[in-house]
Amino acid sequence: MEDLKGMIKSRVNVSGVTASVAAALVVESAQKVFDEFFGLEPQLVRVLYLKNRTLTVSVSGAPVAQEVKKNETQLLEKIRIATADPTIERIRYLL
């Protein structure tokens, strides 16, 4: 008979909760990176979710979208370091 800890761990892995929690932590850390990057205007970019190695963000306007696109490589590197997740490949932005 399995111990309770093993059964709980097994159920959590099967249900996909682990992946959801990891994605939520990535979103939180990425939001901090964007807040640092844009300085005094923290709500210019809101990180929405992580799916299929793509970080989706909402931007307040076209100039902000251009800044995100122009600095995508630098932002991705900072996000990868902050989240310890090297699998994030791109940033998708929504106006």
Q: Return the domain boundaries, the chain.
A: 4-94
Provide the token pair at 77.
Answer: 């590197």
In the predicted structure, residue 95 carries a pLDDT above the cut 80: yes
The whole-number pLDDT of residue 2 equals 67
**Confidence band (pLDDT; 50, 70, 90) for 6?**
confident
Question: Tens digits of per-residue pLDDT, 47-85?
Answer: 999 999 999 999 999 999 999 999 999 999 999 999 888
In the predicted structure, residue 9 carries a pLDDT above the cut 90: no
Superfamily of domain 4-94: DnaA, N-terminal domain (3.30.300.180)
The whole-number pLDDT of residue 83 equals 87
54 Cβ neighbours under 8 A, 6+ residues apart: 88, 89, 90, 91, 92
Q: Map tokens 């989706």 to a residue.
A: 56
